[in-house]
Structure 1
Amino acid sequence: MKKSTIWTIVAVVIIAIGGGVFYATQKSNSNQVDASYNSAMQQGKDAVADKNYSKASSAFDKALGIKKTAQAKAYKSQADNMLSAISATKDGKYDDALTNVNNVVTANNGYATLTKQGRKLKTTIKDVQDNYENEIKPIFDNAKQAEDGKQYLQAIDQYQRVLDLPYINGQYYAKYKKQAKKGVDKNKKLADENDNGAGALTRSYRSSSNSNSAKQNQDTGNAGKTGEGAVGDHKVHGKTVTNNQISQLRKRVTKLGYDGMSFSPQDLIDLYRKSGRSKPSKITKSDVADYLKP
């Protein structure tokens, strides 16, 4: 065999071996990238399961840095929008919150679990907005009106009504709870400073308020003692009307164009009973008008 032929064969073998080594190295590197990417994505998914969207965003961002995929980009965007929606809801910026959460729900290549959580959050945001607009805000407006008229004890009573709402300890109402507490403290101080004997009066009010708050932790608290229903009769359809249902009734009456805040808890219970409706949301404007007839 010619020497040139031998060298040709050797060269071919060397190239083949080199190519094999190069392929194996590339394959190994690719596998490592995939493993790192998959690990980061799984960390993000685990964080989503825990509703830790900040951690999820970081994990998906890490995955995106390892391998730029439409999936990792979409997952990170969803997590970021969940964070923004939650923050906006806590700040009372409901339109912004709904825009953010809609971006979660409608995301292309999105993570199904995040999409599902986004739909649930959207419902929550609407409920919080509804509670604020139809219950909390009217109470604050009444409190402000009382303050402007220097009716400090009435203002205290209004702020206390916010603190007695059954859902006020929820995470999305912290802003309003803080505002109501400040309102109570401010008006107690104003009452003490501006009215003769108000110090004793506010102490008396404080005792009464604490007693009322304790009662309102029960089913219907201090629902009125008069009205169409018998004294202490807080039942409709055989079941005791809860604070949450009273809240729903007040919001329903307000939505129908009436001053829901002027209805006592017993009024709302009596209205509910007289209407014969299965749920507070079923009550109509005609039901309210019939109830209010002399």
Structure 2
Amino acid sequence: MKKSTILTIVAVVVIAIGGGVFYATQKANHNQVDASYNDAMTSGKKAVADKDYKRASSAFEKALGIKQTDQAKAYKDQSDNMLVAITATKAGKYDRALNRVDGVIKQNAGYGVLVKQGKQLKETIEDVQDNYDHEITPIFTAAEEAESNQQYVTAVEQYQRVLDLPYINGQYYSKYKERAQKGIKRDKKAAKNNNGTAAVPYGSKSSRANKHDTGNAGKTGEGAMGNHKVHGKTVTNKQIDQLRKRVGQLGYEASSWSPQDLIDLYRNSGQNRPSKITSQDVQNYLKP
């Protein structure tokens, strides 16, 4: 065999080996990239399952830095929108919160788990906004009116009503809880300075006699002595909340109705759900 032929064969073999090594190296690098990307995406999904959206956003951002995919970007955008929606809800900025959570739900190529969590969060935001509009705001309005009239004992009682709401310790109500606590502290001090005595604690005998606490309806009848049952079952706090909202929806000052008033109304209406109570039911109940 000629020397030139041998050299040609050697060259071909070297090139083949070099190409193989290059291909193997490239494949190994590609596999490593895929593994790192998948690890980051898995970490993000675990964070979503824990509802830790800050950690989820960081993980999806890491994945996006490894591979620029529509999926990683969509998941990160969803996580960021969940964070903003939660923060906005805590701040009482409900329109902004609902706008961002809609972005989670409608995200193209979005993560199904985040879509489901977004829908749940949207329901929560709507409930919080409804509670604020129909329960918390009227109470704060009554408290501020009492303050403007220097009726500090009454103002304290109204602020205490906010603290007595069954959901007030939830994460989305801390702003209003703090406002009520500050109001109580301020008005107790004002009451003491003006009258020489501290404000009457909410729930005391003299407090319950105040019309702002007990309301102006339902003072006689079956429920007057504390009958808390309707259709043979004890009315729950959740049902009382629903009754208060319904009274407000029908155009009445819901904050002036005590829980017993609401229970009596429910019983007298004959309805099987608070949402079915009508304006005529309320009018009939308020008749002497």
Whether contact under 8 Å (2:218, 2:286) holds in the other structure is no
Task: List 4+ stretches of structure 1 deviating above 4 A.
Answer: 222-225
SS at match of 2:23: helix
**CA distance in 2: counterparts of 1:228 and 1:256, whole angstroms:** 23
Q: Secondary structure at the match of 2:222?
A: coil
Give me the whole-angstrom Cα distance separating, in 1, the residues matched to 2:142 and 2:181.
15
C-alpha deviation, 1:225, in angstroms: 8.7
How far apart, CA to CA, are the structure 2 residues paired with 1:249 and 1:22? Answer: 74
CA distance in 2, matches of 1:238, 1:173: 33
- Determine helix, strand or coil for the equivalent of 2:20: helix
Letter in 1 for 2:153: L
Match of 1:198 in 2: 197
2-side partners of 1:166 and 1:49: how far apart? 28
2:275 to 271, 277, 281: 281
CA displacement at 1:210 relative to structure 2:
6.1
Percent of aligned pairs sharing the same letter: 65
Counting only pairs closer than 5 Å after superposition, residues 95-106 of structure 1 correspond to structure 2 as 95-106=95-106
Matches within 5 A, 1:48-87: 48-87=48-87
Decide whether the 8 Å contact of 1:227 with 1:266 is kept in 2: no
After TM superposition, the structure 1 = structure 2 runs for residues 173-212 of structure 1, keeping only pairs within 5 Å, are 173-195=173-195, 197-199=196-198, 202=199, 205-206=200-201, 209=202
Matched letter for residue 270 of structure 1 = D
Report matched runs for 1:1-294 at 5 Å. 1-195=1-195, 197-199=196-198, 202=199, 205-206=200-201, 209=202, 226-230=219-223, 231-294=225-288
5+ residue gaps, structure 1, are: 216-221
**Is the Cα–Cα contact under 8 Å of residues 226 and 266 in structure 1 kept in the other structure?**
no
Between stretches 244-253 and 166-175, larger displacement belongs to: 244-253
Residue 218 of structure 1 is matched in structure 2 by none
1:2-44: CA deviation from partner (whole Å, max 9, x where unpaired): 3333222222222111111111000000111111111111111
Partner SS, residue 257 of structure 1: coil
CA RMSD of aligned residues (A): 1.9
Deviations 1:227-261 (A, max 9, x none): 33241101111111122221211111111211112
The one-letter code sitting in structure 2 at the alignment partner of 1:187 is D
Q: In the TM superposition, what is the alpha-carbon distance from 1:211 to its structure 2 partner?
A: 5.6
Letter paired with 2:66: I
Partners in 1 of 2:203 and 2:277 — Cα distance?
33
Q: What secondary structure sits across from 1:258 in the alignment?
A: coil
Aligned-partner residue type, residue 185 of structure 2: D
CA distance in 1, matches of 2:191, 2:256: 24
8 Å contact from structure 1 (residues 152, 188) kept in 2: yes
Q: Which amino acid aligns with 2:166?
A: P
TM-score normalised according to structure 2 size: 0.92
Task: Quote the Cα distance in structure 1 between the aligned partners of 2:44 and 2:220.
Answer: 56
In 2: Cα distance, 1:279 partner to 1:122 partner: 24
Q: How far off its partner does 1:137 sit?
A: 0.4
The CA distance in 2 between the partners of 1:13 and 1:287, in whole Å, is: 96
Read off the aligned partner of 1:190 and give its amino acid letter: A
Structure 2 gap segments, 5+ residues each: 209-213
Normalised to the residue count of structure 1, the TM-score between the two structures is 0.90
Q: Specify the code of the residue in structure 2 equivalent to 1:247.
A: D
Structure 1 stretch 80-89 or stretch 230-239: which is displaced more? 230-239
Separation of aligned partners in 1, 2:252 and 2:219: 21
> 1:270 Cα shift?
1.2
